[in-house]
Structure 1
Amino acid sequence: MAERADAARNRRAILRAAEELLEAHGFEHVSLDKVAAAAGVGKGTVFRRFGSRTGLLTALLEERAARIADGIEGAAAPLGAAAPPGERLTAFLAALADLAAHNVALLAAHERACAEDKHADPTYRRWHEHVTRLLTEARPGLDADFTAHTLLGMFDAELVRHVVADGGAARLGASVRSVAEAVLNGEAATPEPGSPPD
């Protein structure tokens, strides 16, 4: 069902207000009350739409990552199905590096909101499943599940903040690409879960 025009307008206003509060004042100042006031809507509107601060931050991150999601679901290279898995993986991680470098405050807030179990967060799970699938195709025999968690660990907000502060988005992107290529070109396969050591 298509979103009503007023609902879509409220959604945009709420997400914009949340982002502005986050950038100006930090995670502690992003409450449903403050977001509602800044967006010019009732708190109930925010609650019904997003449920909680965690839901609100998740929606904001998903909006920022929408272009990446569209690329994954399409066919066009380098993100889409037409490209080889290794190329898709490198392109995906590069896109995440760009997203992370320009949205550090959002990443940090999202991590805090999901601190109890970030691996269960819907956005993280989608990213992990995608990376795991590509690694399985590109590097048979690798522990793709563990390696996917390891690669996504490069986007820890404090690590991103540190790297970007000392080299900018270009350094983060180049470093992420270097690690991805090392994983894809590695000769030794990581044992699959449950495999006995050699």
Structure 2
Amino acid sequence: MEERRDAAEHRQRILQTARRLFAEQGVDQVGMYQIARAAQVGQGTLYRRFAHKGILCQALLEESCVNLQTTILSYLEQTDSEGVPVFEQINYLLLQLITYTEENAPLLGAMLDASSGDRRTQSYHSPFYLWMRELFLVLLTRGVMRHELPEQDLDYVVDVMLAPLDIDFYHYQRHERGFSQQRIAANLRQFLAHGLNPNP
């Protein structure tokens, strides 16, 4: 029991320290050794809990993920009862994801940087991504069944819908192409309107 309490305390100390250092210096500027030293834990203790920086960043995102999921589920519950079209629900979800990506870009970027080899597609197997993918798939299927959306290969379409929010591509559009968050959102909506909506 004491050992589990110590492990939990170490985990919280590491996360709090990482959050503070990232805020002070930027995610890219802080290494695992620096986090271990500032948290006053051994590197072995740090790596037993977080095998690499990407997993540490994923843990820091958990609260944001839960908040986003709560917001989305509350919205869907309300709009289902109001009969809001599926396309509008999908558009709302995408806007929420764009905001989430914008606000958490440094952590998401660090997760991508830590990916290599077999870890290259790791983010597509995270609980949050799988949850979002399944949710979009349910909405798309519902839209087809209600004849609000045309029939198509939904299992493929859902990945295409989420692809523009891949952090690497999003960073490229935001910082190399100079697109604003609002411009990305508006054009993604227009693109989906022509691809999904039979009456755009």
With normalisation by structure 1, the TM-score equals 0.70
Equivalent in the alignment of 1:54: 54
Q: Contact 1:136/1:142 (CA < 8 Å) preserved in 2?
A: no
Contact 1:22 1:105 in 2 (8 A): no
State the alpha-carbon separation in 1 of the partners of residues 53 and 31 from structure 2: 7
C-alpha deviations, 1:101-137, integer Å up to 9, x for none?
A: 2332222222233453232233222221121121111
Gaps of 5+ in 2: 81-85, 146-150
Match of 2:28 among 16, 25, 28: 25
Distance change in 2, residues 1:160/1:126 (3 Å): same
Structure 2 counterpart of 1:117, one-letter code: T
Cα displacement string for residues 2-55 of structure 1 (whole angstroms, at most 9, x for unaligned residues):
xx79568526404504644882535xx542x33222344444554454444332
Code of the residue aligned with 1:64 in structure 2: it is S
For the residues of structure 1 that align with 2:172 and 2:55, how far apart are their CA atoms? 27
Cα 1:146–1:20, aligned 2, differ >3 Å: closer, same or farther? Answer: same
Distance 1:153 1:132 in 2: 14
Among 182, 189, 193, which residue is 1:177 paired with? 189
Q: Which residue of 2 aligns with 1:123?
A: 128
Percent identity between matched residues is: 24
What's the CA shift string for 1:83-102, capped at 9, x where partnerless? 24433321111011112223
**Counterpart amino acid of residue 101 in structure 1:** E
2:70 is the alignment partner of 1:70: yes
Q: CA RMSD in A?
A: 3.1
Separation in 2, partners of 1:83, 1:53: 39
**Cα deviation, residue 152, structure 1:** 1.0
Shift of residue 154, structure 1, vs aligned partner = 0.4
Q: Normalising by structure 2, what TM-score?
A: 0.70
User: Bigger radius of gyration, 1 or 2?
Assistant: 2
* Greater helix proportion: 2
